[in-house]
Structure 1
Amino acid sequence: MTDVHAIEPVRRLKVADSVAAQLQQLIVEGQFPPGSKLPAERVLAEEFGVGRSSMREALRMVESSGMIRTAHGVGVFVTSTEKQSALRSELLIVDDYTVAELFEARVNLEGQSAGLAAKRVSRADGERLRKILKRSEAPELTDEEFIECDAEFHLAIAAASQNRLLVKMHETIRPLFRAYSRRVIQLPGRRDRAQAGHLAIVEAVTARRSREARSAAVAHIREVERDILDHLQGGQG
């Protein structure tokens, strides 16, 4: 059996996301070299300390990033050296953080912020959020202006949570995503999808539906992640 190093058991929230992030990191670090066959799903599930359904979902997520490929009836393999090298340059463009790591952190941050905002939102907070939504609808906005509106929106959600540390965390993590934002904003339908995601969050927050607000925020960030991964994978030719 392949020796699997640095695997830590994953508990609770978003198990598959956590497993996918760890597996991507192991591949990037060379624990699973390009061209190598991964251990069987059952073995990986045992090593990570998760159920097979979570492991299967994690493998699908990693495969969607282009880092592994499935040969049906044979097994799952790490992609070629050339492909891996290209993906490494794409997936580690910000302070050596992978896309999976960045979005795992952001999903939890945005979900927590929206959930708390729904419990603590003020009338002024609601008005601010709707004004940002209205402003970002303008078709004449440049890509950079839309990105700024997007940043302002997510910061306003954090502010509505009335937790100053969450606000600070948003301010800290946001610059890490700017490079990705610039790359995907021109994708067909990206602005419309962003607007729809923001609207769902605002409606849940202002209605004080905490669970719905959290779910809407998580769904929105996951959609952005999928767009980015699809863009990166497609860009590899």
Structure 2
Amino acid sequence: MAGIGPGDIEPVRRLKVADSVAAQLEQLITRGDIKPGEKLPPERVLAERFGVGRSSMREAIRVVEANGMLRTDHGRGVFVVSDKKAMPKLSDLLVFDDFTVPELFEVRLSLEPDAASLAARRITASEASNLQRILAEAENPQLSDDAFVKLDAELHRAIVAATKNTLLLRLMESVEPLFFKYSHRVIKLPGRRAHAHAGHVALCQAIIGHRVRDARTAALSHIRDVERDIAEHLEQTVERR
């Protein structure tokens, strides 16, 4: 790209398989499935049970150990030393009762860029006005996080409705309860609300302007942005320990 040097672009951090495995392992410990004092199965066995490679399993163990919940005794194995750690826990951000955030991101990446591009082709003037209304309400700094999350969901639903594709809308509605669960947790990350609103503005401007390519790109960037915020927060949490 002309005019942009190698040092001008920061690589986007993505949530890794190890993050999700670490979060699930942490959850097993906090709910008592694996108790303090117990020894974990060998790395090979754990990797098979989680369905991941041994390198991802090894990295996940290191993350949970950095959180003070595991201890590695060389020659003996890995032991649980605590069922508690300082908040926020990895499982608070990545694991829910019925899904993981990486799984939710996979679904969003499959649906939202296509929905945004279709909406950019088909949106009506009244639908565009509705998006602008939602953005204006979400911009209010006095708005509670709960109200912001509701507007966030309303915005994404309105974008999918603008595609005029009823099956896409049904898929969106089926995912919406999971979206609410996840959004109420990640909205508390530093800067997340401002980043989310900026992403919404860029996305809606492209859709309202009928810029099909830009709409797809903005939807993708919006999802990658929250993924990066979570990954950076997890990195900082580990570094502080």
For normalisation by structure 2, the TM-score amounts to 0.64
- The equivalent residue for 2:185 is 183
- The equivalent residue for 2:133 is 131
- The equivalent residue for 2:47 is 31
Q: Match for 2:104: what amino acid? A: L
Q: Contact (CA 8 Å) 1:114, 1:205: kept in 2 or not?
A: yes
Give the 3 Å change call, closer, same or farther, for CA 87–218 of structure 1 in structure 2: same
Q: Contact (CA 8 Å) 2:117, 2:212: kept in 1 or not?
A: yes
Give the 3 Å change call, closer, same or farther, for CA 233–168 of structure 1 in structure 2: farther
Unpaired runs of 5+ residues, structure 1, are 1-16, 40-61, 70-76
- The equivalent residue for 2:62 is 79
Query: Pick from 100, 103, 116: which aligns with 2:102?
Result: 100
How far apart are residue 138 of structure 1 and its match? 0.9
Q: Contact (CA 8 Å) 2:153, 2:179: kept in 1 or not?
A: no
Q: Contact (CA 8 Å) 1:184, 1:231: kept in 2 or not?
A: no
Unpaired runs of 5+ residues, structure 2, are 1-13, 26-45, 71-88
Superposed counterparts of 1:57-206, under 5 Å: 69=59, 79=62, 82=65, 87=90, 91-95=94-98, 97-206=99-208
| Residue 213 of structure 2 corresponds to residue 230 of structure 1 | no
How far apart are residue 155 of structure 1 and its match? 0.4
**What's the secondary structure of 1:161's corresponding residue?**
coil
How far apart are residue 94 of structure 1 and its match? 3.6
Deviations 1:26-67 (A, max 9, x none): 886932689x9846xxxxxxxxxxxxxxxxxxxxxx7xxxx7
Pairwise CA RMSD: 3.4
**Whole-Å separation in 1 of the counterparts to 2:16 and 2:201:** 29
How far apart are residue 228 of structure 1 and its match? 2.8
Give the 3 Å change call, closer, same or farther, for CA 25–137 of structure 1 in structure 2: closer
Q: Contact (CA 8 Å) 1:24, 1:100: kept in 2 or not?
A: no
Give the 3 Å change call, closer, same or farther, for CA 79–215 of structure 1 in structure 2: same
**Whole-Å separation in 2 of the counterparts to 1:80 and 1:219:** 27
Deviations 1:91-117 (A, max 9, x none): 33240x322111011122111110110
**Whole-Å separation in 2 of the counterparts to 1:91 and 1:207:** 35
How far apart are residue 184 of structure 1 and its match? 2.4
How far apart are residue 227 of structure 1 and its match? 2.0
Structure with max Cα Rg:
2
**What's the secondary structure of 2:227's corresponding residue?**
helix
**Whole-Å separation in 1 of the counterparts to 2:134 and 2:16:** 34
For normalisation by structure 1, the TM-score amounts to 0.65
- The equivalent residue for 1:46 is none
How far apart are residue 207 of structure 1 and its match? 1.4
Give the 3 Å change call, closer, same or farther, for CA 179–232 of structure 1 in structure 2: farther
